[in-house]
Structure 1
Amino acid sequence: MSKVNFRLERALHVALVRRARGANLSLSAFIRQVLEQAVDERKRYVFSSQDEILATTIQILSILATSVGQQSPKTLEQGMAQARSILLERGLLGEADRS
């Protein structure tokens, strides 16, 4: 296996690390897959199935949050606080969302 070294702007590095964590991959594994996509003749997106699962999950959770919020706003508030804590811990919130 060949080894490649290159420099990245900090913002790009942070974004790549965030995407790698979101895909449950190491940064190296994520970048290898992105590079494989770049040379794929079919031009398919490497993480499309995960994106489809994510979109469906977001829709389901949105419906659930709406229902819980109507039944018990306090329960929704507690759940959102827990979710925010988990997202912060995993580095999945942007800079604007950290406050």
Structure 2
Amino acid sequence: MSKVNFRLAPALHVALMRRAHGANLSLSAFIRQVLEQAVDERKRYVFSSQDEILATSIQILSILATSVGQRSPAALEQGMAQARAILAERGLLGEEDAS
């Protein structure tokens, strides 16, 4: 396997680290997959199956949140606060959303 070294701007490095962490991959594994996508003749998106799972999860959680919110707004607010904390911990929220 060949080895490639390159420099990244600090902001790009942070963004890539967040995306890699969110995909549950090391930075190297994440970048390798992104590079594979760049040379894929079919131009398919490397993480498409994860996107489909994410879309389905969002739909299910939206229905659940609506139901919980109608029954107990306080429980919904507590759950949303916990979700924001977990997402922020994993680097999946933007700077302004994490506060």
Aligned sequence identity (%): 88
**Offset of 1:17 from its aligned partner?**
1.1
Aligned residues: 99
TM-score (norm 2): 0.94
String of CA shifts for 1:4-50, please: whole Å, max 9, x gaps. Answer: 11111222112111111121111100000110111111111100010
In the superposition, the TM-score normalised over structure 1's length comes to 0.94
Corresponding residue for residue 23 of structure 1: 23
Alignment of 1:37-52 (within 5 A): 37-52=37-52
Determine the C-alpha separation between the residues in 1 that align with 2:95 and 2:71.
32
My pick for the range that moved more, 78-87 or 26-35, is 78-87
Could you list the runs of 5+ residues in structure 1 that have no partner in the other structure?
none
Gaps of 5+ in 2: none
Aligned to 1:92: 92
Q: State the structure with bigger RCO (CA 8 A, min sep 6), 1 or 2.
A: 2
Deviation beyond 2 Å, 4+ runs, structure 1: none
- Structural mapping, 1:58-77, within 5 Å: 58-77=58-77
Quick one: distance in 2 between partners of 1:57 and 1:11? 29
1:54 equivalent to 2:54? Answer yes
Read off the aligned partner of 1:21 and give its amino acid letter.
Answer: H
